[in-house]
Amino acid sequence: MKFPFQNVALIGKYNAPEIARPLLQLAGFLTGRGLTVVVDSITAEHLQGNPYTKMSLAEIGNAVDLAIVIGGDGTMLNIARTLSLCDVPMIGVNQGRLGFLTDLTLDNMQDSIAAMLEGKFVIEQRLLLAARVLRNDSEVYSGRAFNEVVVHRNSISSMIEFEVRIDGEYLYNQRADGLIVATPTGSTAYAMSAGGPILHPSLEVLELAPICPHSLSNRPIVVKSSSELEILVHRTGDIHVRFDSHTSYDLQLHDKIIVTRHPALVSLLHPVGHSYYHTLREKLLWNQTL
């Protein structure tokens, strides 16, 4: 990470014209401090008379020291998969309520970012997943995920059957609606809905959470992040592998999905005093009196 920051990218939620005003205000604030500002080319479509240089995400990754994402956690997920490959740290600004990944608000972003530009921030690095689909021992698809890689059935198909191995060792055969392989970041997303534990984002572990398993003895399991996970499809109807609800690929009988930790890390910057437990209390309403 390069600090002090000199070149900053601003990226807004996809197809959300309402972010134009706060984004332009932030851009003016940053340029007033002597920083060079570029804007994501898709975001720029909503900025009338945009005076800032437009770049694609791929170009941004090689041109800036910092990216500020205005939107929600879903927006951050999409951006993080690309910018993490270039080791670009990110600050998240949430449009509405506090997010798990986007912890600044539109009201406090200018003051918070001013302090962070002076070095008053904490940096948090989070895991990414890499997954490959093998068919007859040949790779036919690959992808990355920040939250989770999910093997799941279509809503109208029957239960699927699959085998799971960890580092080559047989774990189990299972009949279920699917299986979630989640990072600690993803433990508060789909995996939590499937009954998986909440994992602190600093942990270097992966979580496997079955989706509606046929046997009540099948429970979530947490393994070390260096593990290689193999999922072999034994029975399939209409079944997919999905990456962060962003991209998916149709699977066939005997396809093998290999899931590992990606070598890149997602770098998130937070204001001094940021607390993950505070975020949990706010998002999960643990602060409400019963």
Whether residues 100 and 132 fall in one domain? no
Whether residues 191 and 215 fall in one domain? yes
Whether residues 81 and 196 fall in one domain? no
Domain assignment present for residue 1? The answer is no
Q: What is the pLDDT of residue 163?
A: 97
Q: What is the pLDDT of residue 289?
A: 66
Whether residues 183 and 58 fall in one domain? no
Q: Which of 73, 177, 244, 255 is catalytic?
A: 73
Number of domains the chain contains: 2
Whether residues 138 and 251 fall in one domain? yes
Whether residues 189 and 114 fall in one domain? no
Whether residues 183 and 249 fall in one domain? yes
Whether residues 35 and 72 fall in one domain? yes
In SS3 terms, the chain reads as CCCCCCEEEEEECCCCHHHHHHHHHHHHHHHHCCCEEEEEHHHHCCCCCCCCEEECHHHHHCCCCEEEEEECHHHHHHHHHHHHHHCCCEEEEECCCCCCCCCEECCCHHHHHHHHHCCCEEEEEEEEEEEEEEECCEEEEEEEECCEEEEEECCCCCCEEEEEEECCEEEEEEEECEEEEECCHHHHCHHHHCCCCCCCCCCCEEEEEEECCCCCCCCCEEEECCCCEEEEEEECCCEEEEECCCEEEECCCCCEEEEEEEEEEEEEEEECCCCHHHHHHHHCCCCCCC
Domain assignment present for residue 56? The answer is yes
Whether residues 150 and 41 fall in one domain? no
pLDDT digits (tens, 9 = 90+) for 11-59: 999 888 888 999 999 999 999 999 999 999 999 988 888 899 999 999 9
Q: What is the pLDDT of residue 177?
A: 93
Which residues of the chain are modeled with pLDDT < 50? none
**Range(s) of the domain holding residue 253:** 128-263
Domain assignment present for residue 24? The answer is yes
Query: Could you confirm whether 73 is annotated as catalytic?
Result: yes
Domain assignment present for residue 278? The answer is yes
Domain assignment present for residue 59? The answer is yes
